[in-house]
A and B are shown apart, each in its own frame.
Chain A
Amino acid sequence: MQNNRKITLLIVGLLSMMIIPSCSHSKDVIEKLGVVSAYGFDQNEEQVLEGTTVLYQFNPDITNASQIIHSTGSTFNMVRSNANKKSGYKIVNGKLQTLLFGPTIAKKGVFPYLDTIERDAAISDMLYVTISEEPARDILSASNYEEAPNIGVYLNRLVDTAVLDEKIVSSKFHEFMRDYLQVGREPLVPIISIKQNKAAIEEVGIMQGDSHVGSFSMKEIFFVRLLREEFNEGRLDLELETKPFQDYIKEYQGDNREDKMFIVIDQLQNNSKINLTNVDHLTYEVDVSIHGRIVEMSQRMNLDKAAPLRKLEEEIDKKIKKNLEAVVKKAQQVNADVFGFGVKYNNRTRGEELTREQWQDLFPNIEVDFNVSTEIKRFGIVQ
């Protein structure tokens, strides 16, 4: 017992001794840091990386809480340390939220610049990878970023809101890397453009591997997402011909004024299944079933009756199918399988792993059949 006490005291003594040498270990006290919220990368003609670093600024006297530093270098970390030459704060990446690649790099391939983000445990996996058609430097210089502390946070919110609204496919760093390293499914990243000094998402970029090869419009991306992921409360705007509904619309309007009608479906949920029906000829059959609620129709008809409702569903099916085919065609043209057909193919071929080159040879020639079935579950409080 007595002995134990002595040993305990010894341990306590040793511990207190440890405090002294450990003082030297480096600190990151918050007010001495230049916390980066976004990086933008461009490449100039001499193949030198031009970085734009967006920092938080902790000074209560300055209302603008953001600071932007431009620097050059050949690697990610060199850009950072060069940026640090222009700042009195220690620039750290721990709260990096957005990565923006300018067109020069996006066309060439972004992967070389992502290595350190994966390697360095301090950097979050939840940041968004984005690209732009204009130089990243210009986008990050936009001065209107709502209430956000700086443009980096604003971009993160912009993308995050779009992802949560199921407008675009999420491109968090983890998801980007997952798709990039997966053979048979290519990543999609939002394209940031600038409108009236304010950044916005107008298109979504198709990546072939890590390089930007084409774009989907926001309208098209809905149909891509329909195949890739599931909607919980999606929203779809469709333009239908009025012709098939002639008889039903007459009840309300007498005669037909427009030959197009617009319809908005929300609370949309879907279930999409990609089946590889023929391995040798690479024919796919995709079953897409959708159900949702109509919130707006530019022409009224009595949906309480079975016939108009069935007709409407049928027309929606056709329209969606047409769009899906167009989307797949577009992807085939740029040869980037953003849907994951390749994964299904790989899952069916046992024993051999599909390589990227093989699939790039095969993908443009695959045939896809769509079976779309729509169900309108509700249509508001009018017929």
Chain B
Amino acid sequence: MKRRFRQSSYFPCKIETLQQDLFTDFFNSSPDLASKTVNVEGQKALIIYMDYLVREEEVYNHITSKVQGAKQLDYQTIESEVPVTDIMELKTLNEIGGALIEGYVCVYIEKEKHCIVIPVPRIDQRKPAKAETESLIFGPQISFSDSIDVNMNFIHKRLDTKTLTAEKFIIGDKIPSEVRLIYLSDIANDEAVQEMRSRLNSLQVDDVLDSSALTQYVEDNSYSIFPQFLVTELPDRFCYSLKEGRVGLLVDKSPTAVIAPVSFLSFFQTTEDIYTRWNMGSFIRLMRLVGMFLSIILTPLYVAALTYHYEIIPDALLVSLGHSRSRVPFPPLLEALILEFLIELIREAGARLPTKVGQTMGIVGGIVVGQAVVQAGFTSNILIIIVALSALASFTAPSYLMGSAIRILRFPLIILAGFWGFIGIMFSFAFISIHLIRQRSLNFPYFVPIYPFQPRDFDNSFIRLPFLWSYKRAYSNRPKKIRRFKKPNR
């Protein structure tokens, strides 16, 4: 029976047979398969489609009525009457079934050797919404939608259409999804494009859930805690990265896009830094980096200092720290772990609950629990400040994935600091540095511009210089054209 789907000599057949075969075998007796038999001067034709996948009104107006009103039933008449392009001729049952799922309407005239399918897909898509996870204060605020066509539309609007290249890949054996590899052919590095192409081609998975899942299939080192590709929901960020010479991926049904190759520092940059003036952008960028550093190091420092290195605590703090610590029954390590865990709990609960409840959660968690915890002598009040500060700092990372990575990274650091003091902290910092040096993103170095040392890229990495100074693309992406515009003569 299966063979029947693929055989090309299925046609000609009786209309009833075709209808029956599709209904029982292909669509498992789905109640949504709508069909209509039309009889014109003794010739019979079948119109068949999935009712929730097509725009039914247009099917009635432009197909059914045209077929019924035709003087003579043949495909040429129908094709000329029906005001739709992209009409295809199909010969096997398998192809027909596939087309019906994609929102085609199938028309078969009895005794013909093939049938035609007319695309009238219904696309229920969200309106372009405001960006949620990567919201900006200043600058364009829309985010990608979950349809690849709309997203391509966004991108095309923003980018030079002549060199914008999109390659189509179908990934997923079981549930195929469309993936687009997008780059600017005159800027993007060929090696990067080729590498991404070959990774996509060699990818053998049953299904791609989302672009972030695709990222995990194709990234360089799956063991690392750090994301190696940038997943963004902002079309402007995506386009900016393409213009910098990077390569992008769009996945159908996914409201986020993927950018590669990226460096560690690009996870701390936003397009907002570029929209705002350079000095403000630089300040905010540096602040984010300092924030990340503080977020990682503050709690471990507290634990290490209180467990082993009381010498470094300033006199003024020593007494108040000693006072509040003297009531706490746990060692500093456990104290810090408990509080960090509590903060993570509040964050997770706030994220899972509906927005209104989530806000209440934040208040309850932040104020009530925090206050009670200190009053009950559960933790010292200075630790509350430190943990809150580092939680706050970790949320400044513009990329959600990087922010989470930093938050998780804190736990091993706290444990190491609790066991070996400063030696433990230094050990973990050395380990993280070596780890970052070892990472690659799409075979490009991840820790650029620190290593490979690229001082020419400093204009737009740690800080952002005014465009007068920063008129080149980042060397580390090795774009084909390094200069964005001629240096203004001023």
Q: Secondary structure of the A side of the interface?
A: loop
A23 adjacent to B419 (CB under 8 Å): yes
| Bound CA span A153–B315, Å | 8
Given contacts A19-B419, A22-B420, A60-B323, contact A29 B318 (CB under 8 A): no
A27 adjacent to B307 (CB under 8 Å): yes
Nearest to B314 among chain A residues (CB) is A95
| Bound CA span A366–B348, Å | 81
| Bound CA span A72–B328, Å | 34
1/0 per residue, CB under 8 A from B, across A9-42: the answer is 0000000000100110101111101010000000
Contact of A56 among B307, B318, B420 (CB under 8 A): B318
Chain B residues, CB < 8 A from A149: 315, 318-319
Interface of chain B residues 447 through 490 with chain A (CB within 8 A): none
Whole-angstrom distance between the Cβ of B419 and the nearest chain A Cβ: 5
Nearest to B427 among chain A residues (CB) is A15
The answer to whether the Cβ of A58 comes within 8 Å of any Cβ in the partner chain is: yes
The answer to whether the Cβ of B38 comes within 8 Å of any Cβ in the partner chain is: no
Interface of chain B residues 146 through 160 with chain A (CB within 8 A): none
Contact of B307 among A19, A28, A59, A124 (CB under 8 A): A28
The answer to whether the Cβ of B327 comes within 8 Å of any Cβ in the partner chain is: yes
Chain B residues, CB < 8 A from A94: 310-311
Chain A residues, CB < 8 A from B332: 29-30
| Bound CA span A149–B324, Å | 15
The answer to whether the Cβ of B27 comes within 8 Å of any Cβ in the partner chain is: no
Chain B residues, CB < 8 A from A8: 223
Whole-angstrom distance between the Cβ of A148 and the nearest chain B Cβ: 9
Given contacts A22-B420, A95-B318, contact A35 B323 (CB under 8 A): no
Whole-angstrom distance between the Cβ of B198 and the nearest chain A Cβ: 16
A27 adjacent to B318 (CB under 8 Å): no
B319 adjacent to A65 (CB under 8 Å): yes
Whole-angstrom distance between the Cβ of B56 and the nearest chain A Cβ: 54
The answer to whether the Cβ of B242 comes within 8 Å of any Cβ in the partner chain is: no
Interface of chain B residues 318 through 368 with chain A (CB within 8 A): 318-319, 321-328, 331-332
Whole-angstrom distance between the Cβ of A149 and the nearest chain B Cβ: 5
The answer to whether the Cβ of B313 comes within 8 Å of any Cβ in the partner chain is: yes
Nearest to A97 among chain B residues (CB) is B315
Contact of B326 among A25, A35, A60 (CB under 8 A): A60
Given contacts A23-B419, A56-B319, contact A33 B326 (CB under 8 A): no
Contact of B311 among A5, A29, A122 (CB under 8 A): A122
A58 adjacent to B319 (CB under 8 Å): yes
Chain A residues, CB < 8 A from B223: 5, 8
A95 adjacent to B326 (CB under 8 Å): no
The answer to whether the Cβ of B308 comes within 8 Å of any Cβ in the partner chain is: yes
B322 adjacent to A95 (CB under 8 Å): no
A30 adjacent to B319 (CB under 8 Å): no
| Bound CA span A23–B419, Å | 6
Contact of B323 among A23, A28, A58 (CB under 8 A): A58
Interface of chain A residues 23 through 81 with chain B (CB within 8 A): 23, 25, 27-31, 33, 35, 56, 58-60, 65
A35 adjacent to B420 (CB under 8 Å): no
The answer to whether the Cβ of B22 comes within 8 Å of any Cβ in the partner chain is: no
Nearest to A5 among chain B residues (CB) is B223
Interface of chain A residues 136 through 156 with chain B (CB within 8 A): 149, 153
| Bound CA span A29–B310, Å | 8
A31 adjacent to B322 (CB under 8 Å): yes
Nearest to B435 among chain A residues (CB) is A8
The answer to whether the Cβ of A92 comes within 8 Å of any Cβ in the partner chain is: yes
Interface of chain A residues 76 through 133 with chain B (CB within 8 A): 92, 94-95, 97, 122, 124
| Bound CA span A4–B419, Å | 28
A27 adjacent to B331 (CB under 8 Å): yes
Nearest to A95 among chain B residues (CB) is B311
Kindly state the interface size class of chain B when it binds its partner: 20 to 34
Contact of B310 among A19, A28, A59, A97 (CB under 8 A): A28
| Bound CA span A25–B308, Å | 10
A30 adjacent to B313 (CB under 8 Å): yes
Whole-angstrom distance between the Cβ of A126 and the nearest chain B Cβ: 11
Chain A residues, CB < 8 A from B406: none
Whole-angstrom distance between the Cβ of A367 and the nearest chain B Cβ: 47
How many chain A residues touch B (CB < 8 A): the figure is: 26
Nearest to A92 among chain B residues (CB) is B310
The answer to whether the Cβ of B117 comes within 8 Å of any Cβ in the partner chain is: no
Given contacts A56-B319, A95-B318, A149-B319, contact A27 B415 (CB under 8 A): no
Chain B residues, CB < 8 A from A28: 307-310
A95 adjacent to B307 (CB under 8 Å): no
A59 adjacent to B323 (CB under 8 Å): yes
The answer to whether the Cβ of B306 comes within 8 Å of any Cβ in the partner chain is: yes
Chain B residues, CB < 8 A from A31: 322, 325-326, 328
Chain A residues, CB < 8 A from B319: 56, 58, 65, 149
B307 adjacent to A22 (CB under 8 Å): no
1/0 per residue, CB under 8 A from A, across B288-317: the answer is 000000000000000000111111010100
Chain B residues, CB < 8 A from A60: 323-324, 326-327
Given contacts A56-B322, A59-B326, contact A22 B308 (CB under 8 A): no
A30 adjacent to B321 (CB under 8 Å): yes
Whole-angstrom distance between the Cβ of B34 and the nearest chain A Cβ: 54
B419 adjacent to A58 (CB under 8 Å): no
| Bound CA span A66–B327, Å | 18
Chain B residues, CB < 8 A from A25: 419-420
1/0 per residue, CB under 8 A from A, across B183-227: the answer is 000000000000000000000000000000000000000010000
Given contacts A22-B420, A27-B331, A95-B315, contact A58 B310 (CB under 8 A): no
Chain A residues, CB < 8 A from B420: 22, 25
Nearest to B424 among chain A residues (CB) is A22
Whole-angstrom distance between the Cβ of A98 and the nearest chain B Cβ: 12
Chain A residues, CB < 8 A from B331: 27, 29
| Bound CA span A250–B405, Å | 83
Nearest to B312 among chain A residues (CB) is A94
Whole-angstrom distance between the Cβ of B327 and the nearest chain A Cβ: 7
Whole-angstrom distance between the Cβ of A318 and the nearest chain B Cβ: 45
| Bound CA span A143–B181, Å | 78
Given contacts A8-B223, A58-B326, 9 further A-B contacts (CB under 8 A): A22-B420, A30-B313, A30-B322, A31-B325, A33-B310, A35-B318, A56-B318, A65-B319, A92-B310
24 contacts between A and B (CB under 8 A): A5-B223, A25-B419, A28-B307, A28-B310, A29-B306, A29-B325, A29-B332, A30-B313, A30-B318, A30-B321, A31-B328, A35-B310, A35-B318, A56-B319, A58-B323, A58-B325, A58-B326, A60-B327, A65-B319, A94-B311, A95-B310, A95-B315, A149-B318, A149-B319
A residues sitting closer than 8 Å to B (CB atoms) are: 5, 8, 19, 22-23, 25, 27-31, 33, 35, 56, 58-60, 65, 92, 94-95, 97, 122, 124, 149, 153
Nearest first, the 9 closest Cβ-Cβ pairs linking A and B are A58-B322, A94-B311, A31-B325, A60-B323, A31-B326, A58-B326, A149-B319, A30-B306, A30-B310
